[in-house]
Structure 1
């Protein structure tokens, strides 16, 4: 008897079965992470058995039919039609998958809930449960909630998010119902990506640096390999020192347009002398003089306000990195120009 196929395996087999031309049209609509995961799964698929291919194609066809039936008459209509051709258990599975696709993120209802109230409820939950929820929330929301949780539990939660792969639908459903019940009265009206080191890196990039350092140091002590993998995906203000001088000159023009010379001056309040000099040296003479004058005249700043401004600076650099204007390196190695 053939072993059940996981969803990632089925996706890989479907792409292989469709052939290069048709698969490429599907893949171009996926996120970069999904493409990487799919490519990895395809690479590990040595040979597709005829029975496996047939099962995947049938599954895909049934899901497409279910969606078509739903568009014509809703879930009850789709269930009624599919029940005429399939066993009830099979119909339940298909309808459940389509319903999840329509509903989207099972924890969307938490996005507009106050972070402090959410953190109060989550304090009594198991770290694995908290990790599952945070991995499915937007990164800004997850970071807001994480920082309100007890410091001694954050490291465990972060490790569980990084190691997370797939969710069991029945577990998610039970958790969703329980949380909705607990959160009645302060829910707002309100993504199906799961965890992984990418999620952790994005969350850690959004919390205060002191807390990020504490969690990162804990990871380095307990799971150095995971810490290294997460570190490669993160970008902190200190890593500006690793950007090629020529690229930084070009990037600072955009940064100043976005946050202004005063914003840059505020950012310099919380960096070492070498980095401060590197940033100033990469500006035009006029901008450099203006930033120095603003820096010297700045009143005392709250650390959290400086960190917020540094995050704005970093956000611009990340956008430029995505556009290929600059290369951000975590190692300190700079690309040479020849």
Structure 2
């Protein structure tokens, strides 16, 4: 066999470098999927959305051929990212950087840390900014811009901002948040740069998932009842299906009837007696009966006496008390002590 000439070797190396430069993220994923084989690929597909599978499949169909060097580089890149993510997940930043430096060297370790951490940086600078300042920044922005920003901050702060927006803007923002799924780094960076003029700046790389109905339901649970009702009524006119989806995800005071007796007794032990009395003052008969039936006889008598002498209670006070109880239930759910469900919509295995 004839030995390759220096010119041929150089041409091959140049072709490989050109392949690397042309590689988009989705093409790298497609090449990786092809390289690992059908059986393993099918297992990965099970964890992807239909849209992701479609994009990858289209890209796979476009792959004609790749050099062995390109395939090796792609496999190495995925392996390095996998190791980096695992290390970052299991240890702190200093520990992670130290381990990665020992494994890959200083420069590559820094690059991997940057890639892993950058996806979580979108609008990170807003974490410690009070909602009033954010509201002032967003007041004259388009609904889609407001939705993008609110989807990256915690739901309680989002609720505070939404509550002070004009009603017509509230509705548009909710619609936009519902439609959000992911966005490119260019779009996020553009919005961040705009906000940077008044607050701060932060870089962002990659795609970030956010928004959607689950996020909206969380925001709704943090809104005051009046704002929540107004938004839901307006949305119901233009998009009743969205309203139904949001309601399925929300947990309200009336949904306490769907908790089992043990869970009701668990949160009752954590509730403030005054909040409970005020909350029951404005509760419906069904939820009131369910709660009272899970109290001791002595506690029932105390609550009934308190209710008897409780007059002229403002609806806002009732709503605040009920929300305090819902917050207690949510805290217990996060601790794994109870499971919140709505009329069997969540399948629970006893």
Contact 2:156 2:219 (8 Å CA) reproduced: yes
Deviates more, 1:60-69 or 1:159-168: 60-69
**Aligned-partner Cα distance in 1 for 2:131–2:25:** 38
**Aligned-partner Cα distance in 2 for 1:300–1:15:** 70
Counterpart selection for 1:110 from 112, 115, 126? 126
Q: CA deviation at 1:118?
A: 1.6
Query: Are residues 1:317 and 2:333 paired?
Result: no
* DSSP 3-state at the match of 1:106: coil
* TM-score, length of structure 2 as denominator length: 0.67
Larger relative contact order (C-alpha < 8 A, sep ≥ 6)?
Answer: 1
Q: CA deviation at 1:315?
A: 3.1
Give the corresponding residue for 2:342.
329
Provide, for residues 227-250 of structure 1, a one-character-per-residue CA deviation record: whole Å limited to 9, x for no partner. Answer: 222221111112223x16xx1x32
Give the corresponding residue for 1:255.
267
**Aligned-partner Cα distance in 1 for 2:78–2:286:** 57
**Aligned-partner Cα distance in 2 for 1:226–1:10:** 33
In the comparison of the two structures, how many residue pairs are matched?
A: 299
Give the corresponding residue for 1:176.
192
Query: Are residues 1:147 and 2:143 paired?
Result: no
Give the corresponding residue for 1:229.
245
Structure of larger gyration radius:
2
Q: 1:141 to 1:61 in 2, by over 3 A?
A: same
Q: CA deviation at 1:197?
A: 0.8
**Aligned-partner Cα distance in 2 for 1:66–1:325:** 35
Provide, for residues 240-266 of structure 1, a one-character-per-residue CA deviation record: whole Å limited to 9, x for no partner. Answer: 23x16xx1x322322222113322112
Structure 1 stretches of at least 4 aligned residues deviating more than 6 Å after TM superposition: 13-16, 18-21, 41-48, 64-70, 331-335
Unaligned runs of 5+ in 2: 1-18, 86-95, 201-207
* DSSP 3-state at the match of 1:38: coil
Counterpart selection for 1:128 from 139, 144, 150? 144
Query: Are residues 1:285 and 2:297 paired?
Result: yes
Contact 2:281 2:318 (8 Å CA) reproduced: yes
Contact 2:267 2:332 (8 Å CA) reproduced: no
RMSD value, Cα:
4.7
**Aligned-partner Cα distance in 1 for 2:237–2:320:** 28
Provide, for residues 82-112 of structure 1, a one-character-per-residue CA deviation record: whole Å limited to 9, x for no partner. Answer: 9xxxxxxxxxxx9699357247232121122
